[in-house]
């Protein structure tokens, strides 16, 4: 009886894992996306951070994403990502806000993005997770000297 229960439990676990959606970064960010976030910077109150993006391939075949960033209390600004595949489930490229190359690792329903910002030399790690409703949860930590300086949390959706 225990063997049957264990097999059933294993079967259910396998079925759940198989049903988990897989994140296709290029498909998700092709076209228009909208992100509603809250940003918390050390010693400041949280405030809104909204990012509207448009993405697609350029004539060289690179994936280009142009963000319009609206951070409460600051002027609207634009930033540009240029990415290309670098092996299975891995992308590299550049970001106009970054002083280092951008590194993206995709696994299952999530992706991790890492880079160093030009302004302040903050090390950024961004975790995206595909939710069952087709949106992405967005969680970003920016560190300086190993200490958390800022955090962003929000949701990204296709428009």
Q: Which domains does the chain have, with CATH numbers?
A: 22-158 (2.40.128.20)
Mean pLDDT of 67-95: 97
Mean pLDDT of 18-47: 93
- The two beta strands, 31-41 and 47-57, are antiparallel
Give dist(CA 127, CA 27) in Å, integer: 17
Under the banding of pLDDT at 50, 70 and 90, the label for residue 13 is very low
Extended beta strands in the chain, E state: 31-41, 47-57, 63-71, 77-85, 90-95, 102-107, 110-116, 123-130, 136-144, 147-158
pTM: 0.86
């Amino acid at each position: 009886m225990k063997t049957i229960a264990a097999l059933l439990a294993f079967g259910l676990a396998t079925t759940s894992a198989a049903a988990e959606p897989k994140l296709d970064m290029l498909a998700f960010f092709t076209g228009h996306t909208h992100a509603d976030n809250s940003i918390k910077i050390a010693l400041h109150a949280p405030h809104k951070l909204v990012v509207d993006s448009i993405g697609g391939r350029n004539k060289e075949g690179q994936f280009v994403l142009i963000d319009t960033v609206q951070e409460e209390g600051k002027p609207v600004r634009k930033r540009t990502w240029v990415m290309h595949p670098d092996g299975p489930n891995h992308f590299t490229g550049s970001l106009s806000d970054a002083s280092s190359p951008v590194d993206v690792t995709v696994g299952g329903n999530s992706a991790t993005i890492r880079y160093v910002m030009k302004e302040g030399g903050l090390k950024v790690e961004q975790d995206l997770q595909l939710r069952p409703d087709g949106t992405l949860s967005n969680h970003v930590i920016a560190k300086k000297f190993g200490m958390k300086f800022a955090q962003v949390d929000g949701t990204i959706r296709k428009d």
